[in-house]
Amino acid sequence: MQIDILTLFPAMFEGPFSESILKRAQEKQLLSLRLHDIRNYTTDKHRTVDDTPYGGGGGMVMMPGPLIEAVEAVRGPERGVPVILLTPQGRIFTQRVAQELAQHPRLILICGRYEGVDERVRQTVVTDEISIGDYVLTGGELAAMVVVDAVARLIPGVLGARWAAEEDSHAMGLLEYPHYTRPPEYRGLAVPDVLLRGDHAAIERWRRREAIRRTWQRRPDLLLTAQLSDDERWFLAELAEQDAPMLV
């Protein structure tokens, strides 16, 4: 997969893109991350990318010219490449959206700055708008890193074990069950017996139930759409009788 990122601050990406799994994914040529400085698509001596808003008001607006030219140059003649603007006005980024984006061979991400981008950028080249949550960042760069990270780990071969991404929290529609490793007892806290006995069916059942318990306690909203067996629905009903979810 190839992801092109249009930004005024390409250096911001250096750390996150050159460590750990994203680094290895690029080395294995499963992922190509290309950074493009929007300033390279300006035409004036001062390399201007923003201007004051028509109609007045505070802040600066990113000019349409450099952004649109940058998208067109980077995209080339190819059709059907999603051009995604990172903005708090976009649709909320979820695991489902990450899965959807991971199906594309190419993505172009535009990082907005200042008060926003000229509306004509949306009208001409943008095909999708994504927000990583209901809060306002200083720009789209951190949001783009979040999107790249969540999408990259879904590309086949990027994570070590094939099933690692499928069992994730949210991929199952539930939060994850608790994890334990050695030692079997630490500061008086024991690893649940069932995990030490090697009965894989019992372990699987325990994990599903603990995932349901955790989801009920922390994110009961997710249970509205989670796929549960009849037996698991009974378990949930028992849980609901015992304790109320933690309120946020």
Nearer to ligand ADE, 7 or 215 (CB): 7
> In angstroms, what is the minimal distance from the CB of 136 to ligand ADE?
5
* Strand extents, DSSP E, 117-210: 128-131, 185-186, 189-190
- Contact between 87 and ligand ADE per CB under 6 A: yes
Beta bridge partners of 5: 35, 109
Residue nearest to ligand ADE (CB): 143
Q: Which span sits near ligand ADE by CB under 6 A: 69-77, 83-91, 97-105, 173-181? A: 83-91
> In angstroms, what is the minimal distance from the CB of 135 to ligand ADE?
6
Q: How far apart are CA 62 and CA 143, in angstroms?
A: 18
Residue 66: in which H helix or E strand, if any?
A: helix 64-75
Nearer to ligand ADE, 133 or 157 (CB): 133
Annotated catalytic residue: which of 168, 176, 210, 232?
Answer: 168
Which residue do the tokens 């009961």 mark? 220
The verdict on whether 88 is a catalytic residue reads: yes
Residue 203: in which H helix or E strand, if any?
A: helix 200-218
CA distances from 164 to 1, 124, 126, 156, 210 (A): 19, 39, 33, 10, 18
- Contact between 86 and ligand ADE per CB under 6 A: yes
The verdict on whether 10 is a catalytic residue reads: no
Q: How many residues does the chain have?
A: 248
- Contact between 133 and ligand ADE per CB under 6 A: yes
> In angstroms, what is the minimal distance from the CB of 113 to ligand ADE?
8
Q: How far apart are CA 196 and CA 216, in angstroms?
A: 26
- Contact between 64 and ligand ADE per CB under 6 A: no
- Contact between 132 and ligand ADE per CB under 6 A: yes
- Contact between 88 and ligand ADE per CB under 6 A: yes
Looking only at Cα atoms, what is the longest distance across the chain? 71
Nearest to 54 by CA among 43, 64, 41: 64
The verdict on whether 115 is a catalytic residue reads: yes
- Contact between 148 and ligand ADE per CB under 6 A: no
Q: How far apart are CA 102 and CA 83, in angstroms?
A: 14
> In the set 15, 45, 103, 135, which binds ligand ADE (CB under 6 A)?
135
Helix, strand, or coil here: 93? coil
Nearer to ligand ADE, 97 or 172 (CB): 97
- Give residues in contact with ligand ADE (CB under 6 A): 86-88, 112, 131-133, 135-137, 139-140, 143
List the catalytic residues. 88, 115, 153, 168
